[in-house]
């Protein structure tokens, strides 16, 4: 595959904010009711963002912004994908090249360790970094597992639900 060629960052760097867009998943077979979108919908997003002058940024830009107060390009946007999903990678990799767009794949390690067929394994992750538009970010080991959330023993996702502590009755 051809090496990624980013668009030169010639925009003014005087912005003090950015937009972060998180995609749970991209799949041609996005199930009804899921948060996944189709590749066609993702391409429409990229097209609109490019037409309206948004500039994709990298994690190093976010770090420099928060750590050193370094300004960002105007209309800066950080595009992320969750949970190391294989479909998201395969469905969007060519679109990132065509639109010369950068993206971050959140790496959730528990499916990798379990060798889940739906997860990107280490060889794919290394290839993503080699091809250019991708960055990787640590997401979690067990962050998407369900934890006890209420006194009735119902559960919720670890990231969004405080764990029920029966011994403290809270």
Mean pLDDT of the chain: 88
* Mean predicted confidence (pLDDT) in 126-150: 83
Query: Counting Cβ atoms within 10 Å, is residue 131 exposed (0-12), middle (13-18) or buried (19+)?
Result: middle
Q: Which of 25-29, 59-63, 148-152 has the lowest mean pLDDT?
A: 148-152
Q: Is the pLDDT of residue 10 over 60?
A: no
**DSSP string of the chain, one letter each residue:** -PPP-PPP--S-EEES--EEEEES-B-TTPPTTSS-B-HHHHHHHHHHHHHTT-EE--HHHHHHHHHH---EETTEEEEEE-TTBHHHHHHHHHHHHHTT--EEEEEEHHHHHTT-TTBPPHHHHHHHHHHSSEEEEEEESSTTSEEE-STTS-EEETTTSPPP-GGGT-
- The pLDDT of residue 37: 93
Q: Is the pLDDT of residue 158 over 90?
A: no
Cβ neighbours, 10 Å, residue 61? 21
- The pLDDT of residue 5: 65
The model's confidence at residue 148, banded by pLDDT at 50, 70 and 90, is confident
- Give the CA distances from residue 39 to residues 46, 55, 80, 123, 153, in Å, rounded to whole numbers and listed in that order: 10, 20, 15, 23, 38
- The pLDDT of residue 20: 97
* Mean predicted confidence (pLDDT) in 96-101: 94
Q: Which of 13-17, 26-30, 54-58, 73-77 has the lowest mean pLDDT?
A: 26-30
- The pLDDT of residue 4: 62
Q: Parallel, antiparallel, or unpaired: how do β-strands 19-23 and 72-73 relate?
A: unpaired
């Amino acid at each position: 595959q051809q090496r990624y060629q980013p668009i030169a960052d010639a925009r003014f760097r005087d912005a003090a904010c950015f937009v972060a867009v998180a995609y749970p998943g991209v799949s041609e077979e996005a199930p009804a009711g899921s948060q996944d979108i189709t590749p066609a919908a993702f391409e429409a997003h990229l097209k609109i963002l490019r037409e309206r002058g948004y500039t994709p940024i990298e994690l190093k830009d976010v770090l420099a912004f928060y750590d050193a107060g370094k300004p960002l390009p105007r209309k800066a946007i950080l595009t992320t994908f969750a949970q190391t999903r294989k479909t998201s990678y395969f469905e969007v990799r060519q679109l990132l090249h065509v639109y010369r767009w950068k993206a971050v794949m959140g790496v959730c390690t528990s499916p990798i360790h379990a060798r889940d067929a739906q997860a990107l394994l280490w060889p794919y992750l290394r290839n993503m970094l080699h091809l250019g538009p991708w960055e990787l970010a640590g997401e979690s080991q067990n962050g998407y597992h369900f934890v006890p959330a209420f006194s009735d023993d119902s559960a919720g996702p670890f990231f969004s639900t405080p764990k029920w502590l029966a011994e403290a009755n809270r």
